[in-house]
Amino acid sequence: MLTVIIKLMAYIIVTGGAGFIGSNVVKELNSLGAEKIIIVDNLGSTEKWKNLVDLSFEDYIHKDDFIEKIKKGLFNHSVSSIIHLGARSSTTEKDVDFLMKNNYEYTKELAKWATEKKVRFIYASSAATYGDGTAGFSDEHNLLYKLRPLNAYGFSKHIFDLWALKNGVLDKVVGLKYFNVFGPREWHKGDMRSMVLKAYEQIKREGKIKLFKSYNPSYKDGEQLRDFIYVKDAVSMTLFFLERPDINGIFNVGTGIPRSWNDLAQAVFDAVGLKPQVEYIDMPEELKGKYQYFTKADISKIRAAGYSKPTLTLEEAVKDYVLNYLEQSF
């Protein structure tokens, strides 16, 4: 069904299309036959461009040029959908004014343009909006007011969700709260690379994995829990909403099954065929008050909307990532 829809579509715009999830989205769109794709990003002096080498798309536009054309009414392509994944995603970013301009204001401009033009708009929110989890991890709209993000990045995402809710936009667009996504094409993310990739690199260098100690008496070292989701499943959930333009609102993108960092370490060691060796290290002081000890996506809403595909287990996903991608390129 999605393949047929894509072939009938005008341009699909993917912002952040050279990034981690964005380039995986474009790769999957290509596999479904879509090539009328415009990638919007900011390559700068990074090597993100390498994520574009094997992709098929019709144009690349710098993010600043793109938003200026949108604001001035100069963007004249026939567009069916915008998948807005571009953002400053560092959870340690301290320039809040930059986050507000880049993540909040930019998304507002695109959302207003898309809803006015009746263009399908799917944007990335974040599980960082849930803060320490005190208010739970439900994606029901009435709970948005109870959330308290722990970092500026999460705040910049959260206030757009609130703006969309208060201004009647949320019932016309889709916001996706991605949990801990990992997988191929994330190599360029620096400190924001997933722990799966970092763990693999540590094993290759030192033969062991380093994990943060726990400073919460409810969790032993390495037993902090996160909802880890493979990028292939995250992409599948994202494109589900391209196929179902009648469904709108905020939805969690996760597995609904929290796993420990120790589980993740074991899965990586198993994938490379080595006996686990884990060293627990001190957490940087600046992270201690902003650390999420537990996340679990409530995915009942996306399931009720019709998404029925099972997600890979942590072990299945890590094995695929390590053997079919990391081992091939290390």
Catalytic residues: 153, 189
Partnered with residue 81 across adjacent β-strands are 12, 120
Residue 254, exposed/middle/buried by CB under 10 A (0-12, 13-18, 19+)? buried
Amino acid type, 143: L
Rounded CA gap, 87 and 104, in Å? 9
Rounded CA gap, 67 and 39, in Å? 13
Q: Which helix (H) or strand (E) holds 171?
A: none
For residue 238, which of 119, 89, 144, 124 has the smallest C-alpha distance? 124
Query: By the 8 A CB rule, do 189 and 195 touch?
Result: no
CA angle 311/37/105 to nearest 5° reads: 80
Cα distances (angstroms) measured from residue 157 to each of 91, 161, 246: 11, 7, 24
DSSP-derived secondary structure for 112-137:
HHHHHHT-EEEEE--GGGGTTSTT-S
Which ranges of the chain does DSSP label H, i.e. alpha helix?
Answer: 2-8, 20-31, 63-71, 96-99, 106-117, 152-166, 195-206, 231-243, 261-272, 285-288, 300-304, 314-321, 327-329
Burial letters for 181-211: b for 16+ Cβ neighbours within 10 Å, e otherwise? Answer: bbbbbbbbbeeebbbbbebbebbeeeeebeb
